[in-house]
Amino acid sequence: MTGTKTQEQAVGLTQEGRFYSAERLHAMHGMMLYIRRFEEKAGQMYGLKKIGGFCHLCNGQEAVCVGMEEASEPTDYMMTSYRDHGHIIARGTNPTAVMAELLGRAGGVVGGKGGSMHMFDVEKNFAGGNGIVGEQVPIGLGFAFASQYRDDKRVSITIMGDGGVNQGAVYESFNMAALWKLPVVFVIENNQYAMGTSLSRASAETHLYKRGISFKVPGIQVDGMDVLEVERKMGEAIEHARSGQGPIIVEMMTYRYRGHSMSDPATYRTRDEVDEWRTGRDPIARLQKQMIEAGLATEAEFKQKDKDIKKEIVAVAKAAEAQPEPDLSVLWDDILTDEIPNAYPYPRQVG
Amino acid sequence: MAKITYREALNQAMCNEMERDDRVFLMGEEVAEYNGAYKVSQGMLDKFGPKRVIDTPITELGFAGLGVGAAMAGLRPIIEFMTWNFAILAADQIVNAAAKMKYMTAGQYNCPMVFRGAGGAAARVSSQHSQAFENWYANIPGLKVVMPSNPADAKGLLAASIRDNDTVIFIENEINYGDIAEVPEGEYIIPLGKADIKRVGKDITLVAHSRMTGYALAAAEELAKMGIDAEVVDPRTIRPLDEATILASVAKTNRAVVIEEGWRFAGIGAEISARIMEKGFDDLDAPVARVTGKDVPMPYAANLENHALPSVADIVEAARVTCNRA
Ligand SMILES: Cc1ncc(C[n+]2csc(CCOP(=O)(O)OP(=O)(O)O)c2C)c(N)n1
Ligand SMILES: [Mg+2]
């Protein structure tokens, strides 16, 4: 990695031959930091019992969220598991709506019906937010199928975890995707653990990018703690899919700093291990360092930016909390599209 | 008798059976090193070692099928689903393989095994994680369906299920895991197919299973204040159903409300009320009422969730109407 300053003035930096403007770098950094602070706020709100149920934070994985978003087109489809706050925020969904969803408020992305695990935004082509491990993988394949069917060159970015990759439907999907050359990028967020199970305790082949070999799905491994590498390699993968060469697997090497969900004390890993990632490989600190070295920003500027973001998020939380709970009548909304009024069970009523 | 939790009671049943029968093993996600996602298998890895307490990858269909094969080969698997929501991925092995194996092989093979885990609504976990599926499995010949409502039943019924020579669908309740009550020590077996009268009364029969049994008992206390003496019957085994106990209760009270957390359409209450109508019609002074979850996927927002689930007040109201005291 080289921080290059042009002769006249610092306007960006180049990594592996790819140039990033200062403006773009600031945006990527800002989004990662925003997600980090958003998740911290969510954790806090959970502690205050304002958020209930399961809540999975993505602290540590921000470079994956942001780098992928940078590499994709807004028209590309994206779907993931329940660890979805960072992805949907990176996609550009209004963070107040995301926070409102976490709080079960009327203005949440799905009106308070889904909560943490079920963030959806059709306008941003973000199809969840899926609570059943592996569920989104064949669904992502379906989006890719629709893209091929209409020949509209949209790519399906289908994200799963290192645990989710072991579901049978994933392999059925690999095979169909390769067989029909569907435009799908299978992203494996390898954060080393599926709940309390480390990768090597659940997978015989721990190089997950190789999991497509017998299906002729190529795979690459990416440093998921380096937002620029994520952007670059994801860009190549998306291009591969978009150009009609079929599916590709991208294994993002990353780490979740927090427990699996809010109720997990994460005693299955050592402090040292967490520290190694957290202080040694943190994606936000890394980009900051690169930008400072390239003369694109100063420590003081980053401090101020952090302050501003924290302030913004306090405002977001406040605005979300000020929203009313959903109206009770919405309980009966959106179950069927074509309700049949005179047959039991009758729409919108008990008994 | 010691007071222990529902989860400890389940743990005791598994430990006792594993000590007694070395063909019994426990397999599932996070059951070993993590001591269970809900800590039901706490300490079992230490006690029995990794050969008998086995963590799996997240592959429900695969390890459910492994259980079926191991049972056919003579072992006694306990297959844990972290929750029954995830067992849907394994439904083929449960319904097409385990349930039918004895019949399809004319008795050459059978599947003596237990599929167990948390079912029903948990708190604030939305549509995919809050569902009652007992009626799905209760519809299938070849399966037994068991649902304990308190710690003692949890222990006695699980031990019986593990010893049973058929496939048992054992549905626990996440919200009940921390409930504490007296549980007999040592070996304790409650025969399958036997309902239990949890409260004796004379005016109306409340039939409720799993978490709803507690609701029915709470409703009975409210009803008592109104001068209605309710009897609470907990079927405990959903399939096969001890209808004799239910019918005897209705013969005494002449009125019944059937309560379940799940959806009404083709639910457990539909079956039980149909049996009361078929076999106890002459005993009835009023139509059998049902209290169920609303006919909607479970929403996340606290107020919506509350509204979707049956409440003690719903049971009281249904009982009052059934007793003409509305
Ligand atoms: C089919 C299914 N089985 C089990 C679960 C419970 N569960 C939720 S998350 C999880 C671990 C998934 O780990 P991974 O795929 O690595 O994703 P991560 O949480 O690390 O992002 C498990 C077992 C579930 N939601 N769905
Ligand atoms: Mg993981």
Contact B144, B166 (CB under 8 A): yes
Number of domains composing chain A: 1
Distance CA B92, CA A168 (A): 13
Report residue A257's pLDDT band, with 50, 70 and 90 as the boundaries: very high
Distance CA B259, CA A42 (A): 37
Locate the ligand 1 atom nearest the alpha carbon of residue B128 and give its number. 25
B222, two tokens: 């409210």
Contact B171, B84 (CB under 8 A): yes
Q: Output the CA angle B221-B226-B231, nearest 5 degrees.
A: 45
Q: Provide the b/e sequence for B50-84 (b: ≥16 CB within 10 Å).
A: eebbbbbbbbbbbbbbbbbebbbeebbbbbbbbbb
- The stretch A9-30 carries a mean pLDDT of 93
* Catalytic member of B60, B243, B260, B271: B60
Domain assignment present for residue A18? The answer is: yes
- Name the residue facing A197 among B30, B126, B264 (closest C-beta): B30
CB contact under 8 A, A132 and B304: no
Residue A101, min C-alpha distance to chain B (Å):
8
Distance CA B100, CA B94 (A): 9
Please, which residues bridge with residue A161 across strands? A189
- Name the residue facing B126 among A53, A268, A350 (closest C-beta): A53
Q: Report the percent of chain A where pLDDT is more than 90.
A: 96
Residues A126-144 have pLDDT tens digits of 999 999 999 999 999 999 9
Q: How many CA atoms lie within 13 A of B242 on its CB side?
A: 20
A84 Cβ below 6 A of ligand 1 = no
Report residue A114's pLDDT band, with 50, 70 and 90 as the boundaries: very high
Distance CA A50, CA B300 (A): 12
Contact A105, A325 (CB under 8 A): yes
Q: How many CB atoms lie within 10 A of CB A191?
A: 24
B129 counts as catalytic: yes
Task: Give residue B278's identity as a one-letter amino acid code.
Answer: E
Contact B232, B216 (CB under 8 A): yes
Q: How many CB atoms lie within 10 A of CB A157?
A: 29
Q: Whose CA is nearest to atom 7 of ligand 1?
A: A133
Contact A113, A139 (CB under 8 A): no
Contact A165, A211 (CB under 8 A): yes
CB contact under 8 A, A351 and B290: yes
Nearest to B192 by CA among B79, B123, B301, B112: B112
- The position carrying tokens 């957390």 is B261
User: What is the B70 CA–ligand 1 centroid distance (Å)?
Assistant: 25
Q: Phi and psi of A43, rounded to 5°?
A: -60, -40
Counting one residue from A and one from B, how many pairs have CB atoms under 8 Å apart? 130
Domain assignment present for residue A22? The answer is: yes
Residues B115-154 have pLDDT tens digits of 999 999 999 999 999 999 999 999 999 999 999 999 999 9
Within the 284-323 window of chain A, which residues sit less than 8 Å (CB to CB) from chain B? none
Domain assignment present for residue A141? The answer is: yes
Report residue A350's pLDDT band, with 50, 70 and 90 as the boundaries: confident
Contact B116, B158 (CB under 8 A): yes
Predicted confidence at residue B30, as pLDDT, reads 98
Distance CA A267, CA A105 (A): 33
A131 Cβ below 6 A of ligand 1 = yes
- pLDDT, chain A, mean: 96
Residue B106 backbone zone (phi > 0: left; psi -120 to 50: alpha; other: beta):
left
Q: Which residue of A has its CA nearest to B83?
A: A132
Q: Report the percent of chain A where pLDDT is more than 70.
A: 97
Domain assignment present for residue A260? The answer is: yes
A253, two tokens: 């090497």
Please, which residues bridge with residue B81 across strands? B117
Residues A207-242 have pLDDT tens digits of 999 999 999 999 999 999 999 999 999 999 999 999
Report how far apart, in Å, the C-alpha atoms of A143 and of each of A103, A185, B257 are.
30, 11, 47
Predicted confidence at residue A4, as pLDDT, reads 52
- Name the residue facing B296 among A131, A202, A335 (closest C-beta): A335
Distance CA B220, CA A150 (A): 61
Domains and CATH numbers, chain B: 2-183 (3.40.50.970), 196-322 (3.40.50.920)
CB contact under 8 A, B55 and A202: yes
Please, which residues bridge with residue B283 across strands? none
> Would you write out chain B's pLDDT as a tens digit for each of its 326 residues?
899 999 999 999 999 999 999 999 999 999 999 999 999 999 999 999 999 999 999 999 999 999 999 999 999 999 999 999 999 999 999 999 999 999 999 999 999 999 999 999 999 999 999 999 999 999 999 999 999 999 999 999 999 999 999 999 999 999 999 999 999 999 999 999 999 999 999 999 999 999 999 999 999 999 999 999 999 999 999 999 999 999 999 999 999 999 999 999 999 999 999 999 999 999 999 999 999 999 999 999 999 999 999 999 999 999 999 999 86
CATH code of the domain covering residue A293: 3.40.50.970
Domain assignment present for residue A251? The answer is: yes
Report residue A150's pLDDT band, with 50, 70 and 90 as the boundaries: very high
Can you give the residue range of the structural domain that contains A283? 2-323
Predicted confidence at residue A7, as pLDDT, reads 44
Domain assignment present for residue A351? The answer is: no
SS (H, E, C) chain B: CEEEEHHHHHHHHHHHHHHHCCCEEEEECCCCCCCCCCCCCCCHHHHHCCCCEEECCCCHHHHHHHHHHHHHCCCEEEEEEEECCHHHHHHHHHHHHHCCHHHHCCCCCCCCEEEEEEEECCCCCCCCCCECCHHHHHCCCCEEEECCCCHHHHHHHHHHHHHCCCEEEEEEEHHHCCCEEEECCCCCCCCCCCCEEEECCCCEEEEECCHHHHHHHHHHHHHHHCCCCEEEEECCEEECCCHHHHHHHHHHHCCEEEEEEEECCCCHHHHHHHHHHHHHHHHCCCCCEEEEECCCCCCCCHHHHHHHCCCHHHHHHHHHHHCCCC
- Report which bound ligand comes closest to the CA of A161: 1
* Catalytic member of B17, B129, B174, B260: B129
Predicted confidence at residue B326, as pLDDT, reads 65
User: What is the A194 CA–ligand 2 centroid distance (Å)?
Assistant: 4
**Does the N-terminal peptide bond of residue B240 adopt cis geometry, omega within 30 degrees of 0?**
yes
Domain assignment present for residue A12? The answer is: yes
CB contact under 8 A, A132 and B128: yes
Q: Provide the b/e sequence for A45-82 (b: ≥16 CB within 10 Å).
A: bbeeebbbbbbbbbbbbbbbbbbbbbbbeeebbbbbbb
A338, two tokens: 């074509």
Domain assignment present for residue A305? The answer is: yes
Could you give the ipTM of this predicted complex?
Answer: 0.97
From chain A, pick out residues whose CB is under 8 angstroms from the CB of B126: 53, 113-115, 117-118, 131
Distance CA B150, CA A167 (A): 34
How distant is the alpha carbon of residue A77 from its chain centre? 12
